[in-house]
Amino acid sequence: MAGSNSRTVADVRRDIENEREQLAGAAESLRGSIEEVTDVRAKLRANMVPAAIGALGVGFLLAGGVGATARLIFRRGREGETKAQVGRFRLVNRD
């Protein structure tokens, strides 16, 4: 079987070494592209304002901000009159 192939041992070793070098180059290229794709900090720095606005909106909704704001503004007193108040400060008097 060894006689049916015209390649020498040196040719085979040279081909294997060339394949190793190509594989190493492909691995480095893949590693670089993976680092570029997964670099979240750079993407966040590039879009800081939209990210901050989105985080504020998500935090507001998760904290129940819509319902709490509506309850604060449209709160009813014991007399049934609508009043608006922030903490102990009243924006509309009941009188």
**pLDDT tens, position by position, 2-30:** 556 788 889 999 999 999 999 999 999 99
Each domain of the chain, given as residue ranges in start order, spans: 1-38, 48-95
Task: Name the pairing type of β-strands 89-90 and 85-86.
Answer: antiparallel
Determine the pLDDT at residue 59.
87
Instruction: Determine which helix (DSSP H) or strand (DSSP E) holds 3, and give its type and residue range.
Output: none
Q: Give the residue with greater pLDDT, 25 vs 38.
A: 25
Tens of pLDDT, residues 51-71? 999 999 888 888 888 777 777
The whole-angstrom separation of Cα 11 and Cα 92 is: 93
Q: What's the pLDDT at 77?
A: 53
pLDDT at 90 over 70: no
